[in-house]
Every structure is written in C-alpha cells, then in structure tokens.
C-alpha cells in the first residue's frame, strides 16, 4: 500500500515554512535599550518596517495556505509551496484514493472533526440478509446509537461489498490493494485471510497517521448503546475482550481485535507500527493472536501507550455476554464458528433487545432475564474439525479464539 498520510513530511513542511518566516520575527524584536529614537533611528526603523511589511506580504499567503492545508487535511498541501519550501524531501503526489479517503473521513467525522467509526466489509458479509443488515439495524434500534450512523465509515474490501455499501449507507470507501484480490471469500487462517487481517492493521495505522481517532468495530457486533459514554478517558488504546479477567489494566485479559477505540497520537502510531511489524516476527498468526503476545512486550511500556481493556459487562459477546441489559453497549458474535450460526444467533440477539426495549421504563429498570444466545454459535466445530475452506466462512474478522 502506498502510504496514506505522511506526518514526517508535513512536519518538515512546517519547519521549513517557519524558517522562512522567522527572520521577519527577529527584525521586529531587535534588542535595543528603551529610549527615544533619534532621526536616524526613525529613518532606519522605517526601512525595517518596510522590509517587515514586504516579508509579511511574501510570508503571509504561504502561512495562510499552510494552515488551511493543515486544517483541512494532510493531503491537500499545495504542491507549488511544498516543492519550493521543502528541505531535502521530494514533494509527494497524492493519488485519487487518498483524496477520496480524506473526503469520506472528513464527511463522517464527529464534531471534533477527527473521530470516526470504522468497519470493514467483504462480499460475504455484505450480501442482502447477511451481517451488514443486522449491524446497521442494531444502530437503528439501539439506545442513542442511531445518531452514530452518520459517523460510520464502511471500508469495503471488494467490489460487491462496495456496491452494497453504496446502496445502504452514506460513507463508503473501497480499500484496494495492489496485487491482492479480496473479492473471494477469505477463509479463516488461510494465506489470503491473514493478508486481509494485516492489511486492515496497516490501513488503520495510516488512519492514525492522518490524525483521525477511530472506533474500529467488526460488523458482527451489535451496537445497542452509545459506547462513548463508557470509554475510559485519558486512554490511547482501549479494546474489548472475549474474556474479561479482572481489571481494565490486567494484561491477562483476552482482547478481541474486533472492537477498539484508538486515539491518534505518537504513542498509538508507534504501537501500530510495532503491531504491524510483529507479523514478521510471528508469521502465520493473525493480528489478534499477535496482539495477545505483544501486549506483554516491554516495548509497549517504553512507548508509554495507555492501554486498557474494556469490561464485557459493557462490551460483551457470545464468549461472555453482558449480564445487564440496562448497561450493555455492544454484543459481539465472537466464539462462533460458521456464518450461518452467526446470523442465526445475531438475529436472536436483536429480538432479545427489541423485547427489552419494548417494555415500559419501570420494567426495563428491573429487567433480569438473560440473553437467549448463544444457541448455534460455539467453537466446538472449530475444535473437532480441521479447518477447511468448505466449512469455514467467517468474513473479515478474527474473533475465533482457538484456545477458548
């Protein structure tokens, strides 16, 4: 993938522009003892002032352009300026896809202008009546989640997914990869499945580099309440779990790569670089397994990444459903083998939720019943049968926890 967003080159631009502006600043603040100026000094100051005005006339438009470019997006940096002012770095030419991505992200961003919700989608999950329909439905019947749909960007991994997205949703982006065809069903743990998983991590890293915060969510996660009320503040990276052991800090929690909230800063960018490069250290593993290994790595402490695990109490799944309808935010079809089982149980999940929501408030407050799921979802089949392309179709996520 070509790099989307290049923070380093932007910083260099900023630096080079500052250096052309700073001489004028120095002229304005030349150090002199405070006294009444002589005629000669007034004449001299006029020259200084004229020079200053001239410099401002030259520097101001570049500054304004720079700020405008910086504000709107990293890609819109005007090339003539960057090429004339850049020191030692060739101007980057941004391609159509990158412009499109920035446009989609800006359109979908929340009021802060830089937070989006992202999901990835492939053809199998995009088919009518499949996962995507349930996913979008959950936003509509969830409590306070409908308004979040306008911040959701669907990243389509193939043509079918992209076409379906355009038919269903406002913010769609087609993620293409040179030389890789994701249009085929990607079977769990096959080479193309792994490639797709790692492509996703690489892509999300570039989103962070572009300065956007994001909640990444698998599409088989039902959004039942607004999760932003439950996220930890002052945390760089917070991730949902298949199994929540104890405290949000406990590294033994079993994170699930299907749902996390990442804030864009140097620490998360370094963390994603480390995560992505670790695919070479642990070949044959998918992103979630590698995360489960590297979460103990001292490098994460060195980076200073503020990492927390989200309790299943709020962010549950079929592995460990939230016990309280009153507080649950999300329900993930994790610990589930097979697309048919997944669809079956997610439909029941939404039925359970609808039943709960249809109750009068006083009954909702005292509601004690649990979920009727999982029913068909389990990992049994995964344990007892070797993985084969015929019976595994799991879409673009990796919630199978094989030692669960």
Ligand X SMILES: *[C@@H]1O[C@H](CO)[C@@H](O)[C@H](O)[C@H]1NC(C)=O
C-beta of residue 240 within 8 angstroms of C-beta of residue 310: yes
Judged by CB under 6 A, does residue 344 bind ligand X?
A: yes
**Cα–Cα dist 55/58, whole Å:** 5
Instruction: Name the segment binding ligand X (CB under 6 A); options: 214-222, 337-345, 356-364, 378-386.
Output: 337-345
Judged by CB under 6 A, does residue 266 bind ligand X?
A: yes
Min CB(280)–ligand X separation in Å? 25
Q: Give 367-401 as a DSSP string.
A: --------SS--SHHHHHS---TTT---TT-----
**Cα–Cα dist 168/189, whole Å:** 29
Min CB(269)–ligand X separation in Å? 7
Judged by CB under 6 A, does residue 342 bind ligand X?
A: no
Min CB(174)–ligand X separation in Å? 27
Cα–Cα distances in Å, from 76 out to 10, 56, 101, 325, 389? Answer: 11, 23, 12, 45, 44
Using the minimum distance from each CB to ligand X, give the nearer residue, 10 or 81: 10
Min CB(114)–ligand X separation in Å? 11
Within residues 363-382, the interface with ligand X by CB under 6 A covers 376
3-state SS class at 174? strand
Min CB(183)–ligand X separation in Å? 25
Judged by CB under 6 A, does residue 115 bind ligand X?
A: no
Instruction: Name the segment binding ligand X (CB under 6 A); options: 97-105, 158-166, 304-312, 336-344.
Output: 336-344
Judged by CB under 6 A, does residue 341 bind ligand X?
A: yes
> For 305-335, b where at least 16 C-beta lie within 10 A, e where not — what string?
bbbbbbbbbbbbbbbbbbeebeebbbbbbbb
**Which structure tokens are listed for 91?**
């101007």
Judged by CB under 6 A, does residue 263 bind ligand X?
A: no
Q: Tokens 């200073």, residue? A: 304
Judged by CB under 6 A, does residue 340 bind ligand X?
A: yes
Choose, by CB under 6 A, the member of 176, 265, 273, 378 that binds ligand X: 265
> For 115-129, b where at least 16 C-beta lie within 10 A, e where not — what string?
bbbbbbbbbbbbeee
Min CB(206)–ligand X separation in Å? 14
Using the minimum distance from each CB to ligand X, give the nearer residue, 170 or 265: 265
Residue 157 per-residue DSSP state: S
Min CB(357)–ligand X separation in Å? 25
Q: Which residues bind ligand X (CB under 6 A)?
A: 265-266, 340-341, 344, 376
């Amino acid at each position: 993938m070509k790099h989307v967003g290049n923070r380093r080159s932007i910083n260099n631009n900023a630096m080079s522009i500052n250096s052309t502006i700073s001489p004028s600043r120095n002229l304005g603040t030349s150090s002199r003892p405070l006294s009444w100026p002589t005629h000669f000094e007034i004449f001299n100051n006029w020259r200084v002032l004229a020079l200053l005005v001239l410099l401002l006339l030259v520097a101001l438009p570049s500054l304004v352009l720079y700020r405008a470019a910086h504000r709107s997006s990293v890609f819109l940096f005007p090339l003539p300026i960057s090429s004339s002012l850049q020191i030692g770095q060739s101007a980057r030419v941004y391609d159509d896809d990158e412009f499109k991505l920035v446009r989609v992200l800006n359109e979908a961003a929340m009021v802060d202008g830089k937070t989006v919700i992202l999901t990835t989608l492939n053809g199998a999950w995009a088919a009518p009546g499949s996962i995507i329909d349930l996913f979008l439905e959950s936003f509509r019947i969830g409590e306070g989640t409908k308004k979040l749909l306008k911040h959701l960007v669907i990243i389509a991994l193939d043509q079918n997914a992209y076409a379906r997205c355009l038919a269903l949703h406002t913010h769609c982006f087609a993620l293409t990869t040179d030389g890789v065809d994701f249009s085929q069903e990607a079977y769990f743990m096959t080479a193309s499945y792994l490639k797709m998983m790692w492509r996703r991590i690489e892509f999300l890293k570039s989103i962070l580099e572009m300065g956007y915060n994001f909640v990444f969510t698998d599409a088989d996660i039902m959004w039942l309440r607004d999760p932003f009320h439950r996220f930890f503040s002052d945390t760089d990276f917070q991730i949902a779990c298949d199994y929540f052991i104890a405290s949000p800090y406990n590294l033994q929690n079993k994170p699930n790569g299907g749902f996390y909230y990442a804030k864009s800063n140097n620490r998360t960018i370094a963390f994603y670089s480390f995560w992505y490069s670790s695919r070479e250290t642990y070949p044959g593993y998918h992103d979630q397994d590698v995360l489960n290994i590297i979460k103990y790595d001292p490098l994460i402490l060195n980076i200073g990444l503020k990492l927390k695990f989200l309790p299943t109490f709020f962010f549950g799944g079929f592995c460990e459903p939230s016990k309280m309808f009153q507080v649950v935010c999300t329900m993930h079809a994790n610990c589930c083998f097979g697309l048919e089982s997944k669809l079956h149980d997610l439909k029941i999940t939404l039925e359970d939720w609808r039943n709960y929501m249809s109750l009068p408030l006083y009954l909702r407050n005292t509601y004690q019943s649990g979920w009727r799921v999982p029913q068909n979802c389990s990992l049994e089949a995964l344990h007892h049968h070797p993985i084969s392309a015929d019976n595994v179709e799991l879409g673009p996520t990796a919630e199978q926890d094989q030692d669960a």
